[in-house]
Amino acid sequence: MKSHSGSRYAKAGLLVFGVGLLIGLAALAFDVKSLERVASGLMALGIAGIPAGMVVDWWRATKVANTTPRRGKAPARLRARTARRPRKAAMPKR
């Protein structure tokens, strides 16, 4: 399944933060001390990952926007070099 919006990495940061938040809620509800550290780490990673993901998404979006589909160029026409006529002399000034 392809993501149609361009914010793939920012969404990943939000997802990591949300998972950490849910694990933190579960750790508080069931009073599991070891799970609290894991949840805190996931939330910190998600918070740090959101801006980084936004920068990467912006960079990818501008990179895609600046590239244009390139078509094959037509071969340059080679003209036979012909001898040019000399220029006509200018009219004398008064």
Could you tell me the pLDDT band of residue 70, with boundaries at 50, 70 and 90? Answer: low
Residue with tokens 């037509």: 74
Residue 69 has pLDDT above 90, yes or no: no
Compute the distance between CA of residue 36 and CA of residue 24 in angstroms, rounded to an integer: 6
Decide if 82 is inside a domain: no
Predicted TM-score of the model (pTM): 0.64
Decide if 91 is inside a domain: no
pLDDT reported for residue 72:
67
- Helices and strands of the chain, counted as H and E runs: 2, 0
Find the domain containing 32 and state its range: 8-63
Decide if 30 is inside a domain: yes
Number of domains in the chain: 1
| 13 Cβ neighbours under 8 A, 6+ residues apart | 46, 47, 48, 49, 50, 51, 52, 53
pLDDT reported for residue 74:
66
Decide if 35 is inside a domain: yes
Decide if 78 is inside a domain: no
